Chains A and B, each alone.
Chain A
Amino acid sequence: MRHAYQGIPRWIYVLATAGALFVLLPLAAIVAKVNWAQFLPLVTSESSLTALGLSLRTSAASTVLCIVLGVPLALVLARGQFRGQRLLRSFVLLPLVLPPVVGGIALLYTFGRQGLLGRSLELAGIQIAFSTTAVVLAQTFVALPFLVVSLEGALRSAGSRYEAVAATLGARPTTVLRRVTLPLVMPGLASGAVLSFARSLGEFGATLTFAGSLQGVTRTLPLEIYLQRETDADAAVALSLLLVAVAVAVVGLSYRGPGAAGTRGPGAAERALREGTPETARERVAP
């Protein structure tokens, strides 16, 4: 197909290999350390399955919450025009660089018993600390930026040309959003959602600080690993491998190759619009 410029200096490959090894070796070390004879019993023990189930359920709930809150945020950041937009973006992305434990402390002083909102919630009979809700909140807090960044990037590279056309044809904003914008950026939204899910699955610091650790309620798989490590290194390693496997599967799902998003097509709306639009090709190259 295309022949892109391939003139990478050889020494770059050496460094790239070192970089790849740096990531892969520790993973290989986990695999090497697994006590295979005990692997199945360790991974299928009651506490492990409970933790895995809780992790999957809370991560799914967090992903839904990320979509509900993140899609509007990304739209406003990519398409809206208002004062303080850049500032808002910086703050929304903050959890990406914050240590999770700081996020946990922040959540504690927001939703905790003595927190900003916690007092009113407590009066209303809602108790968040030490509940599964707290786990979901902690995970959403750290995972939301992944969805927003992914989707905002997709929105920007898609441009607003098709939306403009749809609007001139008489579609109202909500219709444009539903029929044109969202189908156009669906791959970006999907990969953002998958990344949020993966990040939620790996959440540890904020959960430990904010939600506590109780089997079946707040002890997710990373917390279970942290605890098992105290007494049973074999169990911790086995569970780590399980989490690595789930993470690989999830990330693999979202990046099935560089062309995946393009070849699968963003959906019917784009294809319909693209037909008879000669500029499409050019536009895709230079968004």
Chain B
Amino acid sequence: MRLPHKPSALVVAALLAAGLSACAAGAPASGPGAASGTGGSASSAGEAAKLSGTLTVFAAASLKSTFTKLAAEFEAANPGTKVALSFAGSSDLVTQISQGAPADVFASADVKNMAKLADAGLLDGTATNFATNVLAIAVPPANPASIASFADLARPGVRVVVCAGQVPCGAATAAVEKATGVTLNPVSEESSVTDVLGKVTSGEADAGVVYVTDVRTAGEKVKGIPFAEADQAVNTYPIATVGSSKNKELAAAFVALVTGAEGKKVLGDAGFGTQ
């Protein structure tokens, strides 16, 4: 029997296939398939109904720090419950929920993506707006290009990174450009606000247009420059219970926490508007 002529070729082909599929989409694994709460212990005692089971919350990536905190508070306040969080771009999450991902609660970074689920009849009831976010300019701590206003971003030689028009932060940036008459010439149009922030924190870009809350989260690594024209594009965050949720009681309790006083406090601390 003849030996394979090129044994390495097959190995290479296999590795190639692996490499091609290894696109780092950064999609987090949805919760451990844990939509099904027990729900059995719903004693009919009205207010005293004891909540239990696992709640899966799909939330926009920009809500990561606030929702992680709120989930911990929820678990502490309701012993026997567990909150599984999945963070990604809102449109990714909409796609996942439409394809049957086991989410109980969905919090979107814009009204448009929530509307997609509502239009598809995948929500339980209607969505509630719970926070707003506005754009801000993020620059490296030393501010090498001396950016002080939105108009400064259009100066020649300034390396600006923005979100692409297809994602919410990019749409907001375009709205501000339109309102101010300032046209940016970005060196890159990223597909997520975190990618924009990354280009600024690594010092590659002189400035990036991100959300106020991203600047807050990045802490010392960037300097935030607020600008008045940001009011031209206020992003609204809606939250809703997903129609296919098997534990709507628990979902409603979490939505109530987010939209209630405690939620307002945590979100406000992170820079969100909560009026």
Contact = CB atoms under 8 A, between A and B. Distances in A.
Contacts of A258: 4-5
A199 B12 CA distance: 11
B20 A247 contact: yes
B15 A212 contact: no
A287 B191 CA distance: 50
Interface stretch (B196-204, B218-226, B254-262, B266-274): B196-204
A70 interface: no
Interface string B2-13: 111111110111
Contact of A142 (B19, B166, B186): B19
A182 to B, nearest CB: 16
Given A149-B8, A149-B12, A214 B187 contact: yes
A222 B89 CA distance: 18
Contact of B91 (A2, A154, A209, A230): A230
B164 A152 contact: no
Contact of A255 (B9, B25, B89, B161): B9
Nearest to A93: B15
A228 B89 CA distance: 13
B12 A150 contact: yes
Interface residues of A, number: 62
A227 B166 contact: yes
Nearest to B20: A202
B16 interface: yes
Contact of A152 (B3, B8, B186, B202): B8
A157 B166 contact: no
Interface string A197-220: 011001011001101111100110
B143 interface: no
Interface in B1-52: 1-9, 11-13, 15-17, 19-20, 22-26
B190 A212 contact: yes
Given A100-B23, A222-B23, A255 B13 contact: yes
Interface stretch (A108-116, A159-167, A170-178): A108-116
B2 A101 contact: no
Contact of B164 (A4, A227, A247): A227
Contact of A213 (B5, B13, B17, B188): B188
B91 A231 contact: yes
Interface in A119-141: 129-130
B195 interface: yes
Contact of B9 (A153, A208, A229): A153
B27 to A, nearest CB: 11
Given A2-B1, A5-B1, A222-B23, A157 B12 contact: no
Given A4-B1, A149-B8, A261-B5, A212 B187 contact: yes
A286 interface: yes
Nearest to B23: A204
Contact of A230 (B13, B89, B159, B188): B89
Contact of B7 (A153, A198, A226): A153
B229 interface: no
A285 interface: yes
Majority DSSP secondary structure for residues of A touching B: helix
Contacts of B15: 96, 146, 149
Contact of B11 (A149, A188, A202, A213): A149
A2 B2 contact: yes
A195 B5 contact: no
A215 B186 CA distance: 11
A99 B22 CA distance: 7
B204 A202 contact: no
A5 B19 CA distance: 33
B6 A153 contact: yes
B140 to A, nearest CB: 9
Interface in B109-144: none
B203 A100 contact: no
A154 B2 CA distance: 16
B70 interface: no
A23 B20 CA distance: 13
A113 B204 contact: yes
Interface of B: 1-9, 11-13, 15-17, 19-20, 22-26, 89, 91, 95, 159, 161, 164, 166-167, 186-191, 195, 198-199, 202-204
26 contacts: A2-B1, A23-B17, A100-B19, A112-B204, A146-B15, A150-B9, A157-B7, A188-B6, A188-B9, A202-B20, A204-B24, A208-B190, A208-B195, A212-B204, A213-B190, A215-B189, A218-B188, A223-B191, A229-B91, A230-B167, A231-B166, A233-B95, A258-B5, A262-B5, A286-B3, A287-B3
